[in-house]
Chains A and B, each alone.
Chain A
Amino acid sequence: MMLRRRGALGGARQGRKALAVPLCALAVILGPTGAAHAGTGGLTPVDQKSPNVERSTDIYYLILGFSGLIMLLVTVPLLIFIVRYRGRGRSREVEGAQIRGNTRLELAWTALPVLILAVIAGFVFYKVPGITDLEAEASGDSRLEIKVDGRQFYWQYRYPNDVIAIDTLRVPLGQVVELEIGAPESDVNHSFWIPALGGKFDAIPGETTRTSFRADEVGTYEGQCAEFCGVQHAAMLQAVEVMPRGEFETWLANEAGAQRRGASELGERTYQGACAKCHGMAGEGLIGPPLAGNSLLQDRDALEMIVRNGQGAMPAVGEGWEDRQMDALFRHLRRNVAGGSGAEDGS
């Protein structure tokens, strides 16, 4: 057959030479990416420290398996055809086989993806209840409900006993923690996410989203605001600290008392979360003006005005704060930031 006529020897040699370029390119890609892989195992998702993440990771691996299969189904024939049917220097005039299609093949590669996708969708629906509605481990175990507020540019948490925490959330080991995620009405969108403990949910002003997790290992798990929220979006980091149950209960009870008395670290935490990201850890100024030595810090009413309502580029970080949080912040500012010297009696 005309079509199958072999190319001349020269053509074959040229083909081999031409192959050198793509092989070099492949080495360029695989070398560094392979090296970068070696550390974490590449396509492995983050460690799973809660059953919901384990279940969504199962979905990931199922899809990864099918994706690998389809990738092979596409690239292996393609590569074989590229090598087998390469022109070998034949003229453009030489036509390939004039095949216009094949109904059975069309049906096959319509039906196969439909089947695969049906399996994937079915598996997702099977897994969803275990992801969205975590069962309590021991019967009669109550859930710990925590309110999460996303704000420019910090996270504020409120426990059922009104303890307030900023950015770092402490939770007990093995108990289902339910998060009610929102944002103050005058704020912007954020998204709460601790990869090891569950998917992300948006904190949107005027809306409430819910998620839950049950941490099964003591440790601190980090995350980051996952919805672009403005100039300090990248600094909006959060963490969940998982503590043994007893230790957590003690801490929570003590903290409640300390916050009522004004003896807790709430002021410092509030400063670090709500102020320091723009004004610097010691009030030295960053994208916001310096606070150290600023006379405003002596004028509680004026300061409170700005903190609660915002001013210019500064968001209303303190909108909706209770007085005890404002008191705590004011105390911290006077002691540690105002004079810069840490003088106890700043006024």
Chain B
Amino acid sequence: MAVRVERPTTVVPWNRGRVSSWLTTVDHKRIGILYIVTSLVFFLAGGVLSILMRTQLATPDADVFSRDSYNQLFTMHGTTMIFLVVVPILAGFGNFLVPLMIGARDVAFPRLNALSYWLFLFGGIVLYSSWFAGGGAPQSGWTSYPPLSVYTQGNGQDLWILSLHILTLASLAGAINFIVTIHNMRTRGMTWMRIPLFVWTIEVYSILLVLVLPALSAGLTLLLLDRQAGTHFFIPSEGGNAVLYQHVFWFFGHPEVYIMILPAMGIISEVIPVFARKPIFGYKAIAISTAVIGFYSLLVWGHHMFTVGMPGYLLGFFMVSSMIIAVPTGIKIFNWVATTWRGNLIFDTAMLFALGFIVVFTIGGLSGIFLAAYPFDWQVHDTYFVVAHLHYVLFGGSMFGIFAGLYYWWPKMFGRILNERLGKVHFWLTFAGFNMAFFPQHMLGLDGMARRIYNYRDVGQWAEYNLVSTIGSYIMGLGILAFVVNVVITRKRGRRAGNDPWLADTLEWYTTSPPQPHNFDQVPYVTSARPLRDLRRRLQEARG
């Protein structure tokens, strides 16, 4: 009797395997993880730079760094956090989650996706290689305004331009991929009003990237030509126009702010309902407000340039358009608060970061109104008030959202739940340290302390505020350290997650944790924005 025993095919989990399999992978989940891990490494690097800066600023006339080194620190810190951390880590979340959330097998163009990641990594390496360039790292700020950035000696500035060019290509490829995927690969029944709100934000994020990155590329190309090819687009003494660069840069730069915040808002919109055990309040309002913010973000760039001497009607226009953005932003905030009403609130770390986000992001949004009112902006433009504002938006906003997302989706990505106790230490240290580091900077700005200075006059309470700010930054550093320890511990000893540890609403929780290479064996027909809850209810009813 011939018995044919079929050997069960061993499926290697998507996250295991040789290094070479990671180098050649086109799996959206692996690429997502590569994005996230790489961005976190750059986040630590950028964080160290900020701690060094705060150390220099702890006392009015410290001598920890030379002027040049300090200028390099803030240039590299800003460039790192924006181009190598927030934008790519959100791309990482998008990569991992979008196909899972819409019930797809992968993104539309897996190879393009891999190219996009590798370009990002090389762009980052090029930027960091500039420390070793003649003249050192770039030192004209993350905005690199000409004529200064044209006259800056050494090759650091050129590497900065090259790096940003590469990163621009990476983001552009990624964005096109997201758009095509979201438009064409949604599973049966998943209409536009049923896609998860995070996917909505990735859609708008991608459209914005496609619209504005070419402006940045153009500006950078002209800058490079001015530096190296003898042109003078931005050199006034040769008939060029220095303000032109600012227009081009901020036409990219302001939408970039929303590129960095919208997906974080999407994460918040996913986390709060799950931990409030409720549906999101006002799904349509939040989805539409995302699109409205995206649209208006293209019309407000001039508020970065209120001091260049614009005609009155432009000042008025940019003030009003900037203020209008506060309305859809407010709608989101009120809807999140309303989502917690009559819920069964479970304060896991992801939820703590989401609730913390609401508080600190609201402060960041409100300080933005001061900056939109141009006569008052003339007072606080380019001061520590702006530094406080942008950190409330980009750390209190984007990074809090990102941490919420990491704690929420970690089990899905790696199959283990991050340690809750360390998570809470991480949250409270970060929340306390963050407010301590950045709230006093509002006062410094109001009192006239300019940004981008390596030492400062010992007047008023400047020394005290700065010292408090520095101590706050160290506390934040400890918080981040708790996160790193958490990651290391969870890797070995973390609690196993199961498919759906949070009893969540969206499709990614339908598959295994971590998901199989092909994502789903089958995808249920989607009848609402909460397909998993629908499934659970149907199961319950079937059981009686």
Roughly how many angstroms separate A26 CA and B432 CA in the complex, as a whole number?
A: 7
Asked if residues A199 and B379 are in contact (CB atoms below 8 Å), the reply is: yes
- A203-219 Cβ-contact flags toward B at 8 Å (1 or 0): 01111111000000000
| Contact partner, A199, options B236, B358, B378, B475, Cβ 8 Å | B378
Within 8 A of B (CB), among A99-152: 99-102, 105-106, 109-110, 113-114, 117, 120-121, 124-125, 127-128, 131-132
* A222 in contact with B366 (CB, 8 Å): no
| 9-residue interface stretch from B156-164, B293-301, B455-463 | B455-463
The smallest C-beta distance from B301 to any residue of chain A, in angstroms, reads 16
User: Do B375 and A100 touch (CB < 8 A)?
Assistant: no
In the complex, the answer to whether A228 meets B237 with C-beta atoms within 8 Å is no
B383 interface residue (CB < 8 Å to A): yes
Stretch at the interface among A184-192, A246-254, A263-271, A327-335: A184-192
A223:B373 contact, CB within 8 angstroms: no
B148 touches which of A81, A105, A228 (Cβ 8 Å): A228
- Is residue B141 within 8 Å, beta carbon to beta carbon, of the partner chain? yes
Complex contact B277–A94 (CB within 8 A): yes
Q: Is the beta-carbon distance between B334 and A233 smaller than 8 angstroms?
A: no
- B331's partner among A35, A53, A106 (CB-CB below 8 A) is A106
Asked if B120 lies at the interface with its beta carbon under 8 angstroms from chain A, I say no
Shortest distance from the beta carbon of A255 to any chain B beta carbon, whole Å: 27
The answer to whether A63 has its CB under 8 Å from any CB of chain B is yes
Which residues of B lie under 8 Å from residue A67 when comparing CB positions? 366-367, 369-370
Confirm or deny: A343 has a beta carbon within 8 angstroms of a beta carbon on chain B: no
Q: Which of B23-31, B177-185, B278-286 forms contacts with chain A? A: B278-286
Q: Of B344, B382, B431, B439, which is within 8 A of A226 by CB?
A: B382
Scan residues 65-117 of chain A and give those whose CB is less than 8 A from a CB of chain B: 66-67, 70-71, 74-75, 77-78, 81-82, 85-87, 90, 92-102, 105-106, 109-110, 113-114, 117
Cβ of B447 < 8 Å from any Cβ of A?
yes
Judged by a CB distance under 8 angstroms, whether B396 is at the interface is no
Q: Is the CB of B145 within 8 A of A189?
A: yes
- Please give, as numbers and ranges, the residues of chain A lying within 8 Å of B460 by CB-CB distance: 39-40
Residue of A nearest to B71 (CB): A231
Q: Once bound together, how far apart are the Cα atoms of A231 and B148, in whole Å? A: 10
Stretch with Cβ within 8 A of A (4 or more), from B34-42, B82-90, B464-472, B483-491? B464-472
Beta-carbon contact of B242 and A206 below 8 Å: yes
Q: How far is the CA of A76 from the CA of B278 in the complex (A)?
A: 20
A54-62, A155-163, A168-176, A299-307: which one contacts chain B? A54-62
Q: Report the Cα distance A12→B66, complex, angstroms.
A: 55
CB pair A37–B443 under 8 Å, yes or no, is yes
Q: Which residues of A contact B316 (CB under 8 A)?
A: 125
Residue of A nearest to B455 (CB): A234
Cβ-closest chain B residue relative to A86: B345
B125 within 8 A of A: no
Output the least CB separation between A126 and chain B (Å): 11
Q: A56-B375, A77-B337, A99-B278 are in contact. Are A201 and B283 (CB under 8 A)?
A: no
What is the size, in residues, of chain B's interface with A at 8 Å between Cβ atoms? 103
CA distance A90 to B335 in the complex (A): 24
**Is A195 an interface residue, CB under 8 A from the partner?**
yes
Is the Cβ of B375 less than 8 Å from the Cβ of A199? yes
Which B residues from 327 to 386 make CB contacts under 8 A with A?
327, 330-331, 333-335, 337-338, 340-347, 355, 358-359, 362-363, 366-367, 369-370, 373-379, 381-383
Does B229 reach chain A (CB closer than 8 Å)?
Answer: no
Chain A: CB-nearest residue to B238: A185
Chain B residues closer than 8 Å to A223, beta-carbon distance:
448
Task: Tell me if B266 counts as interface (CB < 8 A to partner A).
Answer: no
Instruction: Check B520 for interface membership: any CB of A closer than 8 A.
Output: no
Whether A43 and B446, one on each chain, are in contact in the complex, defined by CB atoms closer than 8 angstroms, is: yes
Q: Is A224 touching B145 in the complex (CB atoms < 8 A)?
A: no
* A98–B279 touching, CB < 8 Å: yes
Contact between chains at B242 and A106 (CB < 8 Å): no
Pair A85/B307 contact, Cβ less than 8 Å: no
- 8 A Cβ contacts from B266-284 to A: 276-279, 281-284
A188 to B246, CA, bound (A): 13
Contacts known (A29-B436, A85-B345, A226-B450); A209 close to B309, Cβ less than 8 A: yes
CA distance A4 to B181 in the complex (A): 43
| A101 touching B283, Cβ below 8 Å | yes
Question: For the complex, is A256 an interface residue (Cβ under 8 Å from B)?
Answer: no
**Residues of B close to A131: CB separation below 8 A:** 375
Q: Of all chain A residues, which has the CB nearest B443?
A: A42
Residues from chain A with a CB closer than 8 A to the CB of B341 are 77, 81, 85, 97, 99
Given contacts A46-B447, A227-B307, 9 further A-B contacts (CB under 8 A): A92-B277, A99-B342, A100-B282, A101-B285, A121-B319, A128-B375, A189-B242, A195-B379, A207-B243
* Residues of A bordering B, CB below 8 Å: 3, 18, 21-22, 24-26, 28-29, 32-33, 35-37, 39-40, 42-46, 53, 55-57, 59-60, 63-64, 66-67, 70-71, 74-75, 77-78, 81-82, 85-87, 90, 92-102, 105-106, 109-110, 113-114, 117, 120-121, 124-125, 127-128, 131-132, 185-189, 191, 193, 195, 198-202, 204-210, 222-234, 237, 287, 313
Closest 9 CB pairs of A and B: A199-B378, A206-B236, A96-B343, A209-B309, A234-B453, A185-B237, A195-B448, A205-B236, A97-B342
